Structure 1
Amino acid sequence: MSYPPQGHGPQGYQPYGPPPPGYAPYGYGPPSPALGYLTAIAFIVCGALALMLAIAGWDGSADNASMIAGLVGVAFTEDLTGNVDFAISATMSVACSSILFGLVMFARLEFVRWILAVIGALMTVYYLYAIIWILSNDGGEFIAMALVSWVLWLAATVVAVLPATGRAMRGRGPSRYPQQYPPQHGYPQQY
């Protein structure tokens, strides 16, 4: 029996020709779930930071104005309620939602990835607005937590919308490739 010559194909060093009957195409395999788990961890970290900020500013009398400036919605408190209760409630809601959906993301469900991407995009846009609002109100020394939050939410959102993360989600179900066993009883497998 002669074997086909070896060479460099589109996925690197591999045999020429089609794969044997019953085997998946060369160079393809199930995607790694690593980016799905990384996305979940990133959103859990963002939610934990938001929860920490909400608890630290719970009564509105926190000594650190930088932590108060990191609350979600604090840039709108003067226009809406005049106190930080609105910002604490919004921060608590975002934190709990992010942690909950981040934990569900460990199941690598595709729709959860998009829910987290929407939450992350909203938080990224809000924190960008908050940074501009803080700087326009001469609060440059209080920008640290808003800036850290913006970077974390931006990174988590970018990881959530990567195409590779979508492939990691698709790897959860049954294999799209045939069983890697030779055909039984001399009959070729039908796909």
Structure 2
Amino acid sequence: MNQPWPPGRPYGQQQPDQPYPGQPGHGPPQRQSGVAAVVAALLFLPAAIFTFIAAFASWDGTPGSAHLFISLLGLAFSHGITGNADFAITLSTVVAPLVLVLALLLAIRLPAVRWVPAALGALCAGYYAYATIRLLDGSGGYLLLPIVALLLWLVPAFVAALPPVGRAIRTFPPQRRR
């Protein structure tokens, strides 16, 4: 038999142990794009900026805008802890720059940082969910900004926990030149 292929194999079919182009295992591992990590980091910016605005608008403890004052991070617990809004203002001015630093570290794809801003964003979103439910009992007219803050914290926390962000952060070992 003068066949150019092995007997029993149709023409063009590769051997089972040889990967074809596009199949996992063909060639060196590809480095993931960092776009997902940068997008996740950028989504934390509006939440941090909103928290800064709410804290600085209520800096002296008197509400210049009742809507912004209600949206301070931790205000629902503030009167039980200190009796005034200082706790909420301090918490807001600490959380916002911390999230900005963590978002920067997430954008440069530091592997250990991915879950910290996601957990912090989930905690802030949980607080705003609690504050929204608490506001439903009393003053329903002030619900808009806590709901906006809830979404501003929930979306980046969710996105940072998605698998594409984890793949974007993972790095492969450097390739050796042959």
| TM-score between the two structures when normalised by the length of structure 1 | 0.76
C-alpha displacement of 1:62: 2.6
1:11 aligns with none
2:116 aligns with 115
Cα pair distance change 1:68/1:174, threshold 3 Å: same
Counterparts of 1:40 and 1:134 in 2: how far apart (Å)?
Answer: 30
Percent identity for Structure 1 against Structure 2: 34
1:93 aligns with 94
Counterparts of 1:70 and 1:45 in 2: how far apart (Å)?
Answer: 14
| TM-score between the two structures when normalised by the length of structure 2 | 0.81
Match of 2:33, SS state, is coil
Asked if the contact 1:44–1:103 (Cα under 8 Å) also holds between the matched residues in 2, the reply is: no
2:131 aligns with 130
1:32 aligns with 33
C-alpha displacement of 1:19: 4.3
Asked if the contact 1:48–1:99 (Cα under 8 Å) also holds between the matched residues in 2, the reply is: no
1:53 aligns with 54
Counterparts of 1:5 and 1:142 in 2: how far apart (Å)?
Answer: 69
2:63 aligns with 62
Asked if the contact 2:19–2:25 (Cα under 8 Å) also holds between the matched residues in 1, the reply is: no
Letter in 2 for 1:174: P
Q: Which runs of 5+ in 1 are unaligned?
A: 7-16, 185-191
- The alignment's C-alpha RMSD in Å is 2.7
2:157 aligns with 157
Counterparts of 2:127 and 2:111 in 1: how far apart (Å)?
Answer: 25
Counterparts of 2:76 and 2:51 in 1: how far apart (Å)?
Answer: 15
Letter in 2 for 1:118: A
Asked if the contact 2:34–2:168 (Cα under 8 Å) also holds between the matched residues in 1, the reply is: yes
Letter in 2 for 1:41: L
Q: Which runs of 5+ in 2 are unaligned?
A: 6-10
Counterparts of 2:63 and 2:151 in 1: how far apart (Å)?
Answer: 23
Match of 2:114, SS state, is helix
1:140 aligns with 140
Letter in 2 for 1:125: G
Letter in 1 for 2:62: S
Counterparts of 2:12 and 2:99 in 1: how far apart (Å)?
Answer: 53
Asked if the contact 2:124–2:153 (Cα under 8 Å) also holds between the matched residues in 1, the reply is: yes
2:19 aligns with 18
Structure 1 outlier segments of 4+, above 3 Å:
none
Matched length: 165
1:12 aligns with none
